[in-house]
């Protein structure tokens, strides 16, 4: 028997496979097609202070080995998530819940994190700092080390649960951002969020997506995510949740070798609703194939 158990800041996961925020709703609807208790954890839909409808449609564009999305953080707001969505997930799901928080100002992050920190059913808070800062000309919090550190510090002040900061790859130096989060007191790093992208429709001669640009994800970004997980693992001492283009058990193992303790599966859920289940079921066999008895042995092994 191989060991697939990993630990994120004391939160035990029976395996490292976690559906990524925004690709799995609030989880419970997937329980209609398979028992979601096989998952390592679930990162639920990104939540903001107020309910948001999100961006204009179309919000989706096909790409080679991936897609561009510009959903615009559609969600029912933090209060509805706490009162309705998390309890509804808890009715069918016993494993760890990762609550993903977004904000457009430091005050919003703080308010949401303070609220979610009081929810017993939430095990880890994942703070998405890819959002534009409304007080700073719309520049993303995650693109400057000082802003990333400021959000981290502010959120850490009001929370007791482990806080993972989710980083955008659309930066000149991911390492400096990750270090700033560590400096700010982060308990872990999730990376990467989507890479910016765009498509134009040849017939209409206009951008496919109403918002013109969006976030590119899917298998195509796996090497980009790999590189960033690898770099950040060298630079910080925090556990990493690797995200980006993961579609197979082999991808999970590869990303763990680069330095991830757990691995999130995103876009693949949208084309194969059973993606996480398929990966989890394949994992022990793939581990045996590569002579891995315990996944903890391979975290960051590519650096040695």
Which sequence positions are flagged as catalytic? 131
Find out whether 127 and 101 touch, Cβ atoms under 8 Å: yes
| Closer residue to other proteins, CB minimum distance, 183 or 272 | 272
71 binds other proteins (CB under 8 A): yes
Q: Tokens 């920190």 label which residue?
A: 117
| Closer residue to other proteins, CB minimum distance, 57 or 134 | 57
Distance from C-alpha of 133 to C-alpha of 19, rounded to nearest angstrom: 26
- With residues binned 3-state (H G I as helix, E B as strand, rest as coil), the percentages for the chain, rounded to 5, are 40, 20, 40
Among 7, 35, 37, 65, binds other proteins (CB under 8 A): 65
Q: If you compute the radius of gyration of the chain from its CA atoms, what whole number of angstroms results?
A: 18
Closest by CA to 98, choosing from 158, 188, 179, is: 188
SS3 2: coil
The binding track of 160-199 with respect to other proteins, each residue x by CB under 8 A or -, is ----------------------------------------
283 binds other proteins (CB under 8 A): no
60 binds other proteins (CB under 8 A): yes
59 binds other proteins (CB under 8 A): yes
Find out whether 16 and 261 touch, Cβ atoms under 8 Å: yes
User: With CB under 8 A as the contact rule, which of the stretches 21-29, 151-159, 189-197, 284-292 interacts with other proteins?
Assistant: 21-29
213 binds other proteins (CB under 8 A): no
- For residue 297, what are the contacts with CB-CB under 8 A and spacing of at least 6? none
- For other proteins, the binding residues (CB under 8 A) are 22-25, 29-30, 32-33, 45, 53-54, 57-60, 62-67, 69, 71, 74, 218-219, 267, 269-274
């Amino acid at each position: 028997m191989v060991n697939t158990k990993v630990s994120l800041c004391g939160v035990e996961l029976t395996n490292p496979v976690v559906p990524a925020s925004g690709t799995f709703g609030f989880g419970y609807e997937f329980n209609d097609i398979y028992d979601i208790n096989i998952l390592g954890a679930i990162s639920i839909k990104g939540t903001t202070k107020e309910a948001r409808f999100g961006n204009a449609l179309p919000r989706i564009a096909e790409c080679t080995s991936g897609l561009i999305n510009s959903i615009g953080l559609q969600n029912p707001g933090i209060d509805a998530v706490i009162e309705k969505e998390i309890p509804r997930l808890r009715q069918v799901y016993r494993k760890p819940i990762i609550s993903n928080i977004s904000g457009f100002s430091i005050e919003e992050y703080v308010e949401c994190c303070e609220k979610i920190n009081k929810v017993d059913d939430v095990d880890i808070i994942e703070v998405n700092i890819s959002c534009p800062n409304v007080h700073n000309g719309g520049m993303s919090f995650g693109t400057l080390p000082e802003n990333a550190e400021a959000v981290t510090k502010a959120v850490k002040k009001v929370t007791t649960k482990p806080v993972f900061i989710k980083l955008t790859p659309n930066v000149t130096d991911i390492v400096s951002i990750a270090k700033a989060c560590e400096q700010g007191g982060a308990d872990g790093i999730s990376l990467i969020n989507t890479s910016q992208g765009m498509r134009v429709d040849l017939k209409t001669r206009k951008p496919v997506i109403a918002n013109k640009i969006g976030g590119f994800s899917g298998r195509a970004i796996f090497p980009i995510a790999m590189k960033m997980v690898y770099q950040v693992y060298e630079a910080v001492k925090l556990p990493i949740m690797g995200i980006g283009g993961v579609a197979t058990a082999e991808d999970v193992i590869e990303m763990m070798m680069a330095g991830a303790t757990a691995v999130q599966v995103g876009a693949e859920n949208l084309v194969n609703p059973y993606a996480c289940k398929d990966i989890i079921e394949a994992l022990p066999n793939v581990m045996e194939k590569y002579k891995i008895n315990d996944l903890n042995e391979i975290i960051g092994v590519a650096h040695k």
